[in-house]
Amino acid sequence: MSAITSSLSPKPFQNEPYTDFSQPANAAAMRQALAQVRSEFAKEYDLLIAGERRRSREKLESLNPSNPAEVVGIHQKGTEKDARDAVEKAHAYFAEWSQTTFEERASLLIRLAGVIRARKYEFDAWLVFEAGKSWVEAEADVSEAIDFCEYYARQALKLSRPEPLVQLSGERDELVYLPLGAGIVIPPWNFPLAILAGMTVAALVTGNTVVIKPSSDTPTIAAKFAETLIEAGFPAASFSLLTGSGAAIGDTLVTHPKTRFVSFTGSRDVGLRINELAAKPQKGQIWIKRVIAEMGGKDAIVVDREGDIDEAVQGVLVSAFGYQGQKCSACSRAIVDAAIYDEFLEKLADKVARIKVGASDDPGNYMGPVINARAKDSILGYIEAGRREGRLVAGGEASAGGGYFIQPTVIADVDSKARIFQEEIFGPVLAVTKASDFDHAVQLANDTEYGLTGAVYTGNPEKAEQARRQLFVGNLYINRKCTGAMVGAHPFGGFNMSGTDSKAGGPDYLLQFVQAKSIAEKIA
């Protein structure tokens, strides 16, 4: 047994503790990190193609959504040639990287967790400025990135020692897990470190090489993550960082015949296009490409008459408006029993009215900006549709300030066929719908093409059991909010148009990045 195996195996996984910013020393350290990161604004970053630095004629600027006049980072717009080169180089290095052991690769993940942990305040600050996250939301994002590294290192060690097979007489029978090849990692902007890290290290620790194509809204965070991979000791040729327009290079990455798999988190429409493109074999392609996709949700919280109404109000509030509703797990529908409907709305509206909206670097603001101008326009368009489809209870407007700010918005009396009930908005907009009873509430919750998260507030054990059986979501929460999945405790991934039910942060996730080889040897 190697040193890394013996040092990790006895120690169970534990989630990374969150920094308590109410402590003066922690708050001071965060302010110092914000000042340091701000001093690095408008720095230019290179493409990294298997360790080779490249620059392009066309540039991509990432902006601070709290103040779009501020350029956070200047990045290259990768070309189709860059994309082809990245896949070719990843494929070429795979032969070497795949021969390293699970133990060697797991040790690098543990080192990477340590590097990110040492730079935690810095990453918090980058997330505040480039992704528009509050201090608390940024801290959760960075902690989750660390969790993925620690958890997948341990899971990789388990893959290195599969469960023994039945041993036939006269044979030695075994199962081994082999990496797939060169893969494409396409993370979202809303968890630009956690999901980026999780998707990337899952592929690397199983012996694959990767091309990372980050969101054009958060490329600086991806560039900083690439720094940590090198600092932790990952070979430069094991990954590429390719920034630029998805429309310009996305198809090239997905359709390349040497691309073996695509790991994607993002919108339904983009995910479906990737799945369609990957399904068509290209000239010279000798495998069926694998797609691991997480594609969003239209998540509901059911509030039963037998539930704790105050806890339900708080759970809906934080699930709907935490990080401006820009989570695929966010509550965008509250389905409330008619017996408590009016009381619930009154209490919710009172709490929503107290939410402070403003620049995300100010810890006094609960809500910051939405990610960009296009998102702001889209969300305001949904709010206008909601005014026609229901009754405006709270919010309904853009907020003051130079950033992409929108008031937390609640629209009541929404019919199940309304756009704001059915379509993913990805912003601080909550539709509230009345249910005649618990059966009706479950029916309404399931009336969607998505199936990611859901929650039920009820004090009735029989109704909780009914939700376990009938609420069709990949992540169900009972008497708690529907956001905040924790690595190791809440394997994350959804049904239907929410994706391939990848269950990130769970014991089965790494299996999607390997293929099993059965070996039978005749013995004397």
Catalytic residue annotation? 294, 328
Measure the CA–CA gap between 206 and 513, rounded to whole angstroms.
7
CB 140 within 8 A of CB 73: no
Sign of the dihedral defined by the CA atoms of residues 232, 235, 239, 244, in that order: positive
Q: What residues contact 382, with CB distance under 8 A and at least 6 apart?
A: 419, 420, 423, 425, 427, 429
CB atoms within 10 A of CB 436: 12
Separation between Cα atoms, residue 217 and residue 371, nearest integer Å? 7
Distance between CA atoms of 319 and 314, rounded to whole angstroms? 8
Q: What tokens were used for 58?
A: 């066309």
Q: Which of 456, 480, 504, 469 is nearest to 328 (CA)?
A: 504
- Spatial contact of 206 and 235, defined as CB atoms under 8 Å apart: no
Q: Is 406 helix (H, G, I), strand (E, B) or coil?
A: strand
Sequence-distant (≥ 6) Cβ neighbours of residue 219 within 8 angstroms: 45, 60, 62, 73, 75, 243
Quick check: helix, strand or coil at residue 442?
A: helix
User: Which pair of structure tokens corresponds to residue 252?
Assistant: 């090239």
Cα–Cα distance between 20 and 389 in angstroms, integer?
A: 41
What DSSP character marks residue 301?
A: E
Token code pair at residue 188? 């979202």
Say which residue the tokens 């969300």 belong to.
379
For residue 63, the surrounding DSSP H or E stretch is strand 59-64
Which among 145, 131, 123, 132 is positioned nearest to 224, based on CA atoms? 123
- Residue 503 φ/ψ region, left for φ over 0, alpha for ψ in the -120 to 50 degree band, beta for the rest: left
CA distance 378 to 268: 16
CB neighbourhood size of 409 (10 A): 28
> How far apart are the C-alpha atoms of 256 and 282, rounded to whole Å?
7
Q: How many residues does the chain have?
A: 524
Q: What are phi and psi of 492, to 5 degrees?
A: -115, 125
Kindly list the distances between the CA atom of residue 61 and the CA atoms of 64, 74, 216, 373, 495, in Å, as whole numbers in the listed order.
10, 5, 8, 14, 35
